[in-house]
Every structure is written in structure tokens, then in C-alpha cells.
Amino acid sequence: MKLLGIDEEGLDMALEALGSALKSRGLAIVEADKEIELRTAPEAANIVKKLRENELSRDLGRAGLETLAVIAYRSGSTRSEIDWVRGVNSSTSVRTLLVRGLVRGDEDERDRRKIRYSLTPEALAHLSVKRGRELPRYSELSQEAEAVALREKANES
């Protein structure tokens, strides 16, 4: 409330007005103690469920498989690294893999502004391996990918 420069009554009025405006838009305000979130409205849950199931039922496709391979063989990659290897924007592919639970994104230790994507146990199960290093030609391909990345960084300097 201090950040907004209003008192509790003003906040309640603003939330009431926002809630009314969102009523027919599939969104709702959820309040839990002193936390407030914007969420999918309960009446829109079935539509969201159908959309999600539709997205999850499709094949990964070539772009998704390429992106998954880059992440797997590089032992985690940032989006810019994936884009560089594939030569195209990989945002949609990364999003699809995240939604399906095949990759997860964690803060990059070297650059906190970036997200480093890695395989999840679900992806390993999907690929029928227990560890990433059990993938075909893992040692050879991961070393080659690392060498290419190092050469590229040297060329940028």
C-alpha cells in the first residue's frame, strides 16, 4: 500500500473495481491474507484445461526435438545458446518443452539475468535413459558442442 500511496480502504475499492472489470474476461482476483494474485477464473477452468490438453497431446515436432537435443547434449543451455545452435528463435520450442515438463529453467549461475534450461526426470524417462550421459554418442557430441561454444565465445572477444 505504501508503494501505491493509498490506504487499505483505497486498495479494497481498487480491487473491487478491478474484480468487476475482470468478471467476463476469464480472470479473477484471489486474496489470501495479505497476498493478492490474478488467476484464471473458476468458470474458465474447463476451457484452459482443454487448451492445455490440446497442446500437450501434439508431437514435439522437429523444432522441439532439436531444442531438446541442444539442452540435453550441452548439459543445460540458455535460450540465446539454443538460438545460436539452431540458427532460429527457439522461444516457442522452449515454452512447449517447459509446459510439457520436459525441461526446467533455473537462474544461470554465471549470469543471473539469464535462465539455463536443463532436462527433467520426465524428459529422461521420455528418452528411456536414467542420466543424460546415457544418450547416444553423449560424450562425443557434448564435447563437440562445448568446443564450438568456446570457439564462438573466443571469436566474440
Over residues 76-114, the pLDDT tens digits come to: 789 988 998 888 999 999 999 998 889 999 988 888 888
Would you list the DSSP string of 26-46? TEEEEEETTEEEEEE-GGGHH
Q: Where are the domains of the chain?
A: 8-51, 58-156
What is the mean predicted confidence (pLDDT) over 11-35?
84
User: What's the burial of 102, exposed, middle or buried (CB within 10 Å: 0-12/13-18/19+)?
Assistant: buried
Determine whether 117 is exposed, middle or buried from the number of CB atoms within 10 Å of its CB (0-12, 13-18, 19+). Answer: buried
Which DSSP helix (H) or strand (E) runs through 17?
A: helix 8-22
pTM over 0.85: no
According to CATH, the topology of domain 58-156 is Arc Repressor Mutant, subunit A (1.10.10)
Tens-digit pLDDT profile for residues 125-142: 877 788 888 889 988 888
Q: State the DSSP H helix or E strand holding residue 79, giving kind and residue range, or none if neither.
A: helix 79-86
Task: Give the model's pLDDT for residue 37.
Answer: 82
Tens of pLDDT, residues 37-63: 888 888 887 887 777 666 555 678 899
CA distance 24 to 129: 46
Residue 33, Ramachandran bin (φ over 0: left; ψ between -120 and 50: alpha; else beta): left
N-term to C-term CA, the chain:
47
